[in-house]
Structure 1
Amino acid sequence: MKDVILIVGPTGVGKTKLSLILANKLKSEIISADSMQIYKGMDIGTAKVSREIQKDITHYLIDIVNPDDEYNVSNFQIDAFKIIDKLLYENKSPIIVGGTGLYINSLVYKLKFGEDKPDDEYRNMLWDLYESEGSKLILDLLKSIDPDSLKTIDENNIKRLIRAVEYYHTTGQKYSKKNDSFREENKDYNFHIYCLHEERSKLYDRINHRVDEMIEEGLMDEVRSLITKYDKNSIAFKGIGYKEVIDYLDNKVDYDEMLRLLKRNSRRLAKRQYTWFRRDNRINWIDIEEYGYDFEKIADLILRDIDE
């Protein structure tokens, strides 16, 4: 059987910890399904595993492009399937871990890409509009061409709002209709999908604490260093953890406001991730609190479930 294990869930819930335990037990390797960890140098803000851990357990699709490079879900799908097939050929069970729902869906559903060519000039124009006029203009534009897309896109997720407008501009098709293909399951592999979750207020406390830890670990210096090498208007820097710090460095917000926004936006991301994964009834939900936060026990549970 082509067994492929997917560990998904919201930011900060413990996906990485579980994946490392599983990789050790299975003598296997890990494929990242995180749309921010692909970028070189963006380490603290994306909570990458350390270089030491990566030496012990091979990780794929981490640090593969510069922050100003183009990389999309189509690239991820192609790269991920190559790695999955390689590991299966080596009689290893691939372990895919991440919270980027579209990346996960590109594997477990029969999504086809290629007709959607990026239009950098148009996208940059939309970003300029957003920077000068705010998100309402982008929202109004999307409502006029594809109101149904707002059923699945959070109104605060400006990156996806712009993506949806650009998609309509480049293809003439509605972004909401593109998502219809999510329902055609990919049965070429035996996917075992597990989503970690815990009571919302506890997860939010954990996220708030993790943001404080990132600041202590040097997130500010990381961002300062990156924007000396790359254009701070690059798409990568629109991600949570980077846009807030850049706004602070540009004196658009003070330190306390930066911290508040960073925590708030991280919590909102977790909420969106929960909403995304609840749409797939193949997912096995695991309450980490029910298992006493014992990830060894959770790993054993997953392995028994796969064997059965």
Structure 2
Amino acid sequence: MTLLEEDRRPPLLVLVGPTAVGKTELSLRIAQALDCEIISGDSMQVYRRMDIGTAKLPPDERQGIPHHLIDILDPEEPFSVSMFQQLCTEKIEEIRSRGKLPFIVGGTGLYVESVCYGYTFQGDSGDEAFRARMHAYANEHGPEALHARLAAIDPAAAKRIHPHDERRVIRALEVFETTGRTLSETQAQTRGDDKRSPYRLCLIGLTMDRAELYRRIDARVDSMMEDGLVAEVDALLKSGVPRNAVSMQGLGYKEIASYLSGDLDLHAAVELLKRDTRRYAKRQLSWFRHMKNLEWVDVGTQAKNTELFASICAIIAGKFLLDLEYIR
């Protein structure tokens, strides 16, 4: 691998895109071609025993490619963007020490971007008493009332965060409570256009026709149901994982938990999951469109998989100044 001598920053390959767009399959081929080790850029795949709802690739389907930051926490444990940033940065150095190319693959935009640009986070240790008060407020007055409190102090964050995403709403309120600055102000500072990455980045984003993406999302949810999502969520709850745990706020888990508690019938829970996943994909695309230097690839416009792979290889070769013959 030959890189420009004047740029000493270590290379970092990143593949992002909305859920169900096809990142996993493509990432395996890229990793094989470039001798990569993959780091999951997904905030939910860190949890053990949460496989179906997180669309986790089984170990026997990883083609011998090392995958990192998967199955590292129990579902009862909290996880945050600052924790991800620290763990991911450490993994990048480990992978480089083995002479491999670090390759982040995932759809959690803030998590991925925090590593790419070295974000700093204030007050992440958390104010448990404040969180408890906010959870109690939401239980008494409803999630919309809690979301209204956020809208009053940080309209931009309130627009991005769904009213029922209680964990993120409370986190945004907590940032203001502990730092005196809104989450939007903090993110605007860390996402400044002049912020230089500690890495030589190659950022690739996958997209496709919105209608086709939504069709694939619906099909994925149906497949998860056939694979046993209800049994997976039921087992987690019966093992003592609380419904308000960070892990149980993930897509698939909160909707099915509502069914298991009797709040929804199964059909309504599945339709809600499909709707929420489509909305999440829309938010993912919105986030990625604001990432600087992202090279977009429309996976629906390539006539063949070979053409798609060739297009991506050309992008990588251009960014890292590789000889295309190196990419096998």
2:268 counterpart residue number = 257
TM-score of the two chains, using structure 2 as the length reference: 0.88
Q: Does residue 1:113 correspond to 2:121, yes or no?
A: yes
The 2-side partners of 1:192 and 1:211 are apart by 31
Distance 2:181 2:210 in 1: 36
| Partner SS for 1:289 | coil
State the TM-score, normalized to the length of structure 1: 0.94
Equivalence for 1:227: 237
The CA deviation at 1:275 is 0.4
In 2: Cα distance, 1:293 partner to 1:154 partner: 37
Deviations along 1:261-301, one digit per CA (max 9) or x if unpaired, are 0100000000000000001231111000111361x433332
Structure 2 residue aligned with 1:67: 75
Alignment-derived partner of residue 246 in structure 1:
257
Matched with 1:182 is 191
Displacement after TM superposition at 1:86 (Å): 1.9
* More displaced 10-residue stretch of structure 1: 172-181 or 260-269: 172-181
Q: Give the secondary structure class of the aligned counterpart of 1:285.
A: strand
Q: 1:55 to 1:144 in 2, by over 3 A?
A: same
- In the alignment, what sits opposite 1:53? 61
Contact kept in structure 1, 2:144 and 2:164, CA below 8 Å = no
After TM superposition, give the deviation of residue 147 of structure 1 in Å.
2.5
How far off is 1:49 after superposition? 0.4
- Conserved in 1, the CA contact under 8 Å of 2:11 and 2:200? yes
Of stretches 174-183 and 51-60 in structure 1, the one that deviates more from structure 2 is: 51-60
How far off is 1:34 after superposition?
Answer: 0.3
Give the distance between the partners of 1:41 and 1:55, measured in 2 at CA.
Answer: 21
Written as runs of structure 1 = structure 2, the 5 A alignment for 1:81-100 is 81-100=89-108
What is the 5 A alignment of 1:259-274? 259-274=270-285
Q: Which residue number in structure 2 is paired with residue 283 of structure 1? A: 294
Closer, same or farther: CA 266–275 of 1 in aligned 2, 3 Å: same
- For 2:307 and 2:139, the matched residues in 1 are separated by 47
Greater gyration radius: 2
1:197 alignment partner in structure 2:
207
Aligned-residue offset at 1:55: 6.9
Helix, strand or coil at the partner of 1:192: strand
Asked if the contact 2:15–2:206 (Cα under 8 Å) also holds between the matched residues in 1, the reply is yes
* Displacement after TM superposition at 1:81 (Å): 1.0
Which residue does 1:169 correspond to in 2? Answer: 177
CA RMSD of the aligned region, Å? 1.7
Letter in 2 for 1:136: E
Q: After the TM superposition, which of the residue ranges 28-37 and 104-113 deviates more from structure 2? A: 104-113
Check the 8 A contact 1:116/1:171 in 2, yes or no.
Answer: no
1:75-112: CA deviation from partner (whole Å, max 9, x where unpaired): 11111111112222322111110000111110122311
* Unpaired segments ≥5 residues, structure 2: 4-9, 319-328
Which runs of no fewer than 5 residues in structure 1 stay unpaired? none
Partner of 2:226: 216
Greater Cα offset, 118-127 or 253-262: 118-127
Aligned residue for 1:29, secondary structure, equals strand
In structure 1, what is the equivalent of residue 165 of structure 2? Answer: 157
> What is the rounded CA distance, in whole Å, between the counterparts of 1:45 and 1:203 in structure 2?
18
Instruction: Give the CA deviation at 1:156.
Output: 4.8
Relative to structure 2, which stretch is displaced further, 204-213 or 281-290? Answer: 281-290
